Amino acid sequence: MKSALITVLFLFLAAAGSALADEATLPHSLVRDSGGRLLAWHRPEIPGAAYAHVAGLAAEFLKTVPVEPTSGLKLYMVHADFNGPGQDSSYAKGTSGTDWIPNPACVFAGFVQSLAVDYRVFSGDESYLEIVRECLDQMLANGTTCTDWPWPDCPYASADPRSRVYQGGTRWEKEGRGDGLHCIEPDKVGELGIGYLKFYQITGEARYLEAAIDCADALAANVRDVLPGKEKFGTHFDTRSPWPFRVNARTGVVVDEYTSNVVEPVRLFDELIRTAQRTGIDSARVESFRKARSLAWEWLFALNGPMKTFIWNGYFEDIPSDHALQNRVQITPLETARYILKHPEYDPSWKTNVPALLHWVAGVFATEGLEAIREQTWCYFPMGSHTSRYASVCAMYYEKTGERRYLEEAFRFFNFATYVCEDCGYVWVGPGWETAWFSDGYGDYIRHFMEGLAAVPEWAPAGENHLLRSTSVVQTVSYGPRRVSYRTYDLDAVEVLRLGARPKSVRAGAGRLDERVSLDMPGWTWEKLAQGGVLRVDHRGAAEVVVEM
């Protein structure tokens, strides 16, 4: 019965993708195959060819974003959304940003993942590190709470437009919308904290490690034990979450009690704990991280946690206070599912829980007549970035299980997400919504396509060489016509590459790796495709890898 219901839901979503799609306002005309299935706008005859293309267009667009004249900072540092060169003649002057609440912590965390971790490695273009470094340094210098506050050394999730100094979205305080003066969002402390940590792992620059530890310290010091009692059917469960959604960092006064987004702090704690010996974090600190992490993860699956209640609430920084917990969001369940897929050892029931999250998102946020996912119930509009998020998690679940209906779902929803990207790399919010958001269209959008290519390598460009994924942060990568070399932060790691030709040799450090049937020990495997194939490498005890073809 369960599998039948899942199949019916997927068939319903597939059938819904035709009636209104041709009427949608998008940068490109929709393309469908003879069976009515939506294809991507770029090279639709080649499955997946558009995914690297639109990610590259969006990434390149960020290189030429102008400076906003009032602040003297790049447009993405002082505006949440903006009108592009085709929408506003003032774009080149840096004055096309709208007067809405900037969201620097979310944007900068997204840039770390999309640009520094993912697209830089895929493309081999090291210049993206400077874009990200400039953003992180701006946050450290002008967007971090005071050291002697109850929430010390934490990044601000909100700011005022055109302001060099971030201290909350003060213009909207009287409306009850967004963060007020000195208010932060602890989930974004975790989100940018892991961004700082990954950037440290790429660059080795100590200030980013220190910033990550500061974020973790604040989260560990302020975690709340909200686990339910042992009664079988409780009626007085705590309706708070381990961290509040909004809190005044200066006074410690909670503004909004609940957020389901504990996965970002957990990610930060897990990586700091994993690398503690290497980074010199002392045992007492590690223990505080373990305790906070345990409280958060146990709550996630507890009777009053969102994996049971499905109260996925509290992520977007510009919504009003929601004390009744009426709003629902798709980002947190999908990002929770992503982390579970990357670490199934943390959830023995992942084969049940991940599909449950995917089908809940599809059921609540699917768009009638479009292969698109809406953002939240309080902003119930289909958007490209959230559609690509859903597609990427479907692709990951397919990779993990081999269930092809998730591959088809990923394909159709990724295809729709390509349509919001103009040829110049300007990414619309969604159909009929021509404004672009730096968080959605760039920090979010790019990384989801990169995740999809790693999960389904045959979608990566044929005849080219690309490192698609590593279990470690990749510090450097170099591409040549017959040679790929790279270095990972960790000595032990596993990579996925799409190559134009079969390897002649694979070396890790001074040693040669052997070809294997499967990667149950160090070595490499080769999966032949129509053009080139997929290389998977397992190296241990050596960070430097060289592939000769």
Q: What CATH number is attached to the domain comprising 470?
A: 2.60.40.1180
Residues 497 and 443 both lie in one domain: no
> Would you say 323 and 250 are in contact if contact means Cβ atoms under 8 Å apart?
no
SS3 of 1-15: CHHHHHHHHHHHHHH
Q: Does 452 lie in the same domain as 489?
A: no
Which one, of 413, 528, 527, 519, lies nearest residue 471 by Cα?
A: 519
The residues near 236 (Cβ < 8 Å, ≥ 6 apart) are none
Q: Which residues touch 521 (CB under 8 Å, ≥6 apart)?
A: 538
Burial profile 506-533: b = 16 or more Cβ within 10 angstroms, e = fewer: bbbeeeebeeeeeeeebbbeeeeeeebb
- C-beta neighbour count of 87 within 10 angstroms: 16
Residue 386 in this model has a pLDDT that exceeds 90? yes
Let me know if residue 204 belongs to a domain. no
- The answer to whether residue 25 scores a pLDDT higher than 60 is yes
Examine the domain organization and report whether 445 and 377 are in the same domain: yes
Q: What is the 3-state secondary structure (H, E, C) of 289-334?
A: HHHHHHHHHHHHHCCCCHHHHCCCCCCCCCCECCCCCCCCECHHHH
**Among candidate residues 407, 442, 461, the one where a domain is terminated:** 461
The verdict on 483 and 417 lying in the same domain is no
- pLDDT attached to residue 395: 98
Same domain for 382 and 427, yes or no, is: yes
The 10s digit of each residue's pLDDT in 189-218 is 999 999 999 999 999 999 999 999 999 999
Q: Indicate whether 472 and 534 sit together in one domain.
A: yes
Q: Residue 233: its pLDDT value, please?
A: 60
Position 425 scores a pLDDT of 98
Last residue of a domain, one of 429, 461, 493: 461
In the structure encoding, which two tokens stand for residue 190, read together? 């975790």
Contact between 169 and 105 under an 8 Å Cβ cutoff? The reply is: no
The overall average pLDDT reported for the chain is 94
Token look-up 């990200």 returns 132
* DSSP code, position 158: -
How wide is the angle at C-alpha 451 spanned by C-alphas 448 and 453, nearest 5°?
110
Could you identify the residue written with the tokens 């990550």? 212
Domain closes at, from 406, 429, 461? 461
- Let me know if residue 485 belongs to a domain: yes
pLDDT band at 345 (very low <50, low <70, confident <90, very high): very high
Q: What share of the chain is helix, strand, coil (3-state, %, to 5)?
A: 45, 15, 40
User: Whole-angstrom Cα distance, residue 223 to residue 225?
Assistant: 7
Do the domain assignments include residue 202? no
- Say how far apart CA 450 and CA 468 lie, in whole Å: 7
Tell whether 448 and 513 lie within a shared domain. no
In a domain, 49, yes or no: yes
Q: In this predicted structure, what is the pLDDT of residue 34?
A: 95
Region 39-62: what's the mean pLDDT?
Answer: 98
Query: 394 pLDDT band (50/70/90 cuts)?
Result: very high
Residue 300 lies in a domain: no
Is 308 within a domain?
no
Of 443, 360, 455, residue with least CA distance to 414: 455
Q: Is the pLDDT of residue 278 over 50?
A: yes
pLDDT per position as a tens digit, 234-273 = 667 788 999 999 999 999 999 999 999 999 999 999 999 9
The pLDDT value given to residue 18:
39
% of the chain residues with pLDDT over 90: 91
Q: Write out the residue range of the structural domain in which residue 501 sits.
A: 466-548
- The structural domain count of the chain equals 2
Distance CA(17)–CA(549), nearest Å, equals: 43
Whether residues 451 and 355 fall in one domain: yes
Tens of pLDDT, residues 295-315:
999 999 999 999 999 999 999
